[in-house]
Chain A
Amino acid sequence: EPEVTQTPSHQVTQMGQEVILRCVPISNHLYFYWYRQILGQKVEFLVSFYNNEISEKSEIFDDQFSVERPDGSNFTLKIRSTKLEDSAMYFCASRVPGQVYDGYTFGSGTRLTVV
């Protein structure tokens, strides 16, 4: 069964450093997403990406965040200057519309720890 792949599974970074979280969505999917889950809290929407541009973003997704699809397979989330409160599990997801199954497929997540 096709999977969404995320790397690394766990990243530790110092406050103020830049991090890039990587995702390989399912190959025929067209919509890509980032969500995050702070420990003990709900999964929260960050951003959606379609046709090489952001289609929707939440209030969490401020100027320190950016997304990119640099080639035909990877989808990245960059955090420019990490803060302690950015520590969370970050999930990538993808979706293909117009199919019988129009749901999200999530990756296994990257646990980001900012120290």
Chain B
Amino acid sequence: KQEVTQIPAALSVPEGENLVLNCSFTDSAIYNLQWFRQDPGKGLTSLLLIQSSQREQTSGRLNASLDKSSGRSTLYIAASQPGDSATYLCAVRSNFGNEKLTFGTGTRLTIIP
């Protein structure tokens, strides 16, 4: 059974700093991994999708990496802004034939102005 863990559970950093959020998963037989952002009481906004054959994906100030063999992914946020404050979730989709996403518990990020 796939288990997804995110560390740390909460993180506070001053505005302008670069930061890294971590995601680990127990079963390396994944199809893809998706990072989401969730604002309090709101829905899930997709940030980046990494296929199992890829090593990283970039979108603006965000960069996600994937090391499938070690069961890890990181989300790097450059030059953080107060608007980046949210909970960040990673979700893993196992290999073809098993469509569901398995989510981590998230990292609650606070950017201090």
Q: Which residues of A contact B (CB under 8 A)?
A: 6, 31, 33, 35, 41-45, 48, 55-56, 58, 89, 91, 95, 101-109, 111
Contacts and interface: CB of A to CB of B under 8 A. Distances in A.
Given A42-B104, A45-B101, A56-B99, A103 B43 contact: no
A5 B82 CA distance: 27
Contact of B103 (A42, A89, A103, A107): A42
A106 B89 contact: no
Contacts of B43: 6, 91, 106-109
Given A56-B100, A103-B32, 19 more contacts: A41-B105, A42-B106, A43-B44, A43-B89, A43-B103, A48-B99, A48-B100, A56-B98, A91-B43, A91-B44, A102-B51, A104-B46, A104-B91, A105-B46, A106-B43, A106-B44, A108-B43, A109-B43, A109-B44
Contacts of B98: 56
8 contacts: A42-B105, A43-B101, A44-B103, A48-B100, A102-B49, A103-B46, A104-B91, A106-B45
B91 A43 contact: yes
Interface of B: 32, 34, 36, 41-46, 49, 51, 89, 91, 98-106
Nearest to A95: B99
Nearest to B44: A106
A41 B49 CA distance: 23
A66 B34 CA distance: 27
B42 A101 contact: no
A31 B105 CA distance: 25
Nearest to B51: A102
B49 A111 contact: no
Contacts of A6: 43
Contact of A104 (B42, B101, B106): B101
A42 B6 CA distance: 11
Contacts of A101: 49
